[in-house]
Structure 1
Amino acid sequence: MNKKEAYRLQNESFIARMAEQEGVHELEGGVLYKIINAGSGAVMAGPRSIVTVHYTGTLISGKVFDDSRMRQCPEAFRVNELIEGFQTVLCHMRVGDRWQVFIPWQKGYGRKAAGDISGCSVLIFDIELIGIA
C-alpha cells in the first residue's frame, strides 16, 4: 500500500470512529457534527445566503490550516461558494450555534491537495455562526 492510500484509509477510519462518539450527529453525505453551543436564531442559511462565521480548521493530526479567530476577524462567505461539506453544515446551523464539524474528504477537497491540505483529508472545523444576510 502506498502512502496516499494509507493516508486515505487513516482519514476514513477517523470519520468512522467519530460517527460512533456520543453526542455526534450525522448530516447528508456523512458530514458529522457535535454541538458546542446551541444558538437561538430563528432562521437557517440557504445556499445563496451570505454568512458571517468564526472558524478554526484542522486536520486529524491537529495541524491548524486556517483560523479566523487567530486573525481576530470573522469571515463572510456566500454559502454556495464553499466546499460541499461546509455548505451542508451552514444550511443546518442557526445564528449563535457553535459546532465541531467533521467533513469527510469526499465532501471537502476530494483527492486534490489544497495548500497545506493533502488530498483525502478529513477537515475538522470549530464553526460559530455569527450572522446570516
Structure 2
Amino acid sequence: MSTTAVPLRPVNKGGLALLWIGLGLLVAAAAVWALFLSNAPQIKLETVRAGTGATPTDTDVAIIKYEGKLADGTVFDSGDQVPLPVGRMIPGFSQGLKRMHVGGKYRLFIPAELAYGNTAQGPIPANSDLSFDVELLDVKSEAEMQQMMMMQQMMQQQMQQQMQGEAGGSPQP
C-alpha cells in the first residue's frame, strides 16, 4: 500500500496576523450591533384574553375596538368596529397588530419613538408614550374591504332613491 503525501505550504506570519485582526473586527462589530439593538425602542404587548383566529399582515385591514391613552391615563381616542390598514399605521401599532389574533383582547404599550416621536399629533403631545386597549374583531384583505365599502355605498344610494321617491309620491287628482 502506498501513501501519497501532499505538501502543505506553511502559513506566513502576516497572513495569520490578518486572520486574527479580521476575527477581532468581526467580534467587535457583533458586540456593537448587539449593544445598539438591545437598546432599540420596543413595544410591549400584554394579552388580556387570547384570541384563536387569524393574525393580520401588512396588507390586511384589521377591524378593532380600541381606546388610546396617554401615559397619565388621559383618553385621546376610542372607536368601535374601526377598520385600520395594518401597514399604514404608526410603526408601534402596526407591530402590535401583527402579534394579535382575532377574538383576542390586548393591552399595547408604544414608546414615543415608535408612535409620533417628537411631533405633536392632535391631542397627543410630542414625545408621548401611548397605551391602547385593543380587541381584534376581524381581519379582512384590502380587496374585501373595498368590495364591502362599494356594497354599502350602493345600498345607501338605493335607500336615498327610495326615500326621495316616497317623499315626492305621485300627484293626487
Matched, 1:100 2:107: yes
Amino acid aligned to 2:66: Y
**Structure 1 equivalent of residue 42 of structure 2:** 30
Matched, 1:57 2:53: no
Q: Deviations over 1:102-127 (max 9, x none)?
A: 00000000100000101110010001
The structure that is helix-richer by fraction is 2
Distance in 1, matches of 2:41 and 2:87, equals 16
TM-score by structure 1 length?
0.73
**Structure 2 equivalent of residue 7 of structure 1:** none
RMSD of aligned alpha carbons? 1.2
Distance in 1, matches of 2:101 and 2:95, equals 13
Amino acid aligned to 2:48: I
**Which structure 2 residues correspond to residues 72-83 of structure 1 after superposition, within 5 A?**
73-83=80-90
Q: Which runs of 5+ in 1 are unaligned?
A: 1-27
**Which structure 2 residues correspond to residues 89-128 of structure 1 after superposition, within 5 A?**
89-128=96-135
Distance in 2, matches of 1:48 and 1:105, equals 24
Structure 2 residue corresponding to 1:44, chosen from 51, 55, 62: 55
Q: Deviations over 1:2-61 (max 9, x none)?
A: xxxxxxxxxxxxxxxxxxxxxxxxxx84100111100111x2111010110000000011
Distance in 2, matches of 1:31 and 1:38, equals 18
Structure with higher Rg: it is: 2
Amino acid aligned to 2:137: I
Give the match's secondary structure for 1:131: strand
Where has structure 1 moved over 2 Å in runs of 4 or more?
Answer: none
Task: Flag the structure with more relative contact order, 1 or 2, with Cα contacts below 8 A and sequence separation at least 6.
Answer: 1
Distance in 1, matches of 2:50 and 2:110, equals 20
Distance in 2, matches of 1:61 and 1:110, equals 17
Q: How many residues align?
A: 101
Amino acid aligned to 2:58: P
